[in-house]
Amino acid sequence: MTLADALAAAVARGVERLDAQLLLLHVLGRPHTDRAWLLAHDTDPLAGAQRAAFLELCERRAGQEPLAYIVGRKEFFGLELVVDKRVLVPRPETETVVEWALEILGRHDERSVIDLGTGSGAIALAIKQARPQALVEAVDCSVEALAVARENSRRLSLDVNLSQGSWLAASEQRYDLIVANPPYVADADPHLAALKHEPLRALAAGRDGLDDIRAIIGQAPAHLRPGGWLLLEHGWDQAQAVRGLLATAGLNGVATRRDLAGIERCSGGKWPELG
């Protein structure tokens, strides 16, 4: 079997060609950026052990297991993160939260930030990478998720203070910025079936998907410094509801940002300044 034959076999099993190429590069121990190399070597033979490993990975992908879990990594905001079934796969739309956070923080102040429900550490580590002077904390209720975040912090040499807790319940601090990508899918949402490989506790949040967002907004005023911001990722149809919750909690300048697909993805507000 040649490399071209292997890719054809993967596509015949229902694996998209790009995913098949990335899986083959993974089996060959080559960087995921080497797709051009595959094209230049498509007549090279694939050794028996490699062929078996590749076809096994293709079966997992055909069964809807995320590619990131299979290869054990995912790129997010220019960082290569270790990921597995203990955490959600970081999504490109979450970069909307990071971009807004960086605008708020500016470039020079040692401002305090906390990322709630950090999972793999994606948001916290992206902020720390872009704003090294920021004092970044991250919290998650899952010990297993925190282990992944710690591994990413160590590998990337980014100093983020990680701790276990339920949102802000265990914190006694006030912050210049609180960010979160909490669970926001309704418990009965049919799309959950397609996410069966990812941790349900990081996805679903009650009848309307807003239980955790309500909890965070309820806790945030006691933990925001004057002029501090709260930013929340949410579902495609939840922006109006989240803006209402933020305004009711007393935050000003409530607004929503759209992701690259044009979907209202992140809403936030500012705690009033003193005086």
**Claim to verify: residue 101 and residue 33 sit in the same structural domain:** no
How many domains in the chain?
Answer: 2
Q: Judge whether 68 lies within some domain.
A: no
Q: What is the pLDDT of residue 109?
A: 78
pTM over 0.75: yes
Q: Judge whether 79 lies within some domain.
A: no
Q: Judge whether 78 lies within some domain.
A: no
Q: What is the pLDDT of residue 54?
A: 95
Three-state secondary structure readout of 25-76: HHHHCCCCCCHHHHHHCCCCECCHHHHHHHHHHHHHHHCCCCHHHHHCEEEE
Q: Judge whether 138 lies within some domain.
A: yes
Q: Which two tokens stand for residue 196?
A: 């069966």
> Please, what is the average pLDDT of the chain?
94
Q: Which two tokens stand for residue 262?
A: 């044009």
**Claim to verify: residue 41 and residue 138 sit in the same structural domain:** no
Q: What is the pLDDT of residue 275?
A: 55
Q: Judge whether 71 lies within some domain.
A: no
Domain span at 236: 85-270
**Claim to verify: residue 143 and residue 31 sit in the same structural domain:** no
**Claim to verify: residue 208 and residue 100 sit in the same structural domain:** yes
What pLDDT digit, counting tens, does each position of 117-175 carry? 999 999 999 999 999 999 999 999 999 999 999 999 999 999 999 999 999 998 889 99
**Claim to verify: residue 145 and residue 183 sit in the same structural domain:** yes
Percentage of the chain exceeding pLDDT 90:
85
**Claim to verify: residue 51 and residue 141 sit in the same structural domain:** no
**Claim to verify: residue 256 and residue 148 sit in the same structural domain:** yes
What pLDDT digit, counting tens, does each position of 73-124 carry? 999 999 999 999 999 999 999 999 999 999 999 987 789 999 999 999 999 9
**103 CB neighbour count, 10 Å cutoff:** 10
Average pLDDT over residues 27-50: 92
Sequence-separated (6 or more) residues with CB below 8 Å from residue 217: 230, 232, 245, 246, 249
CATH number at residue 225: 3.40.50.150
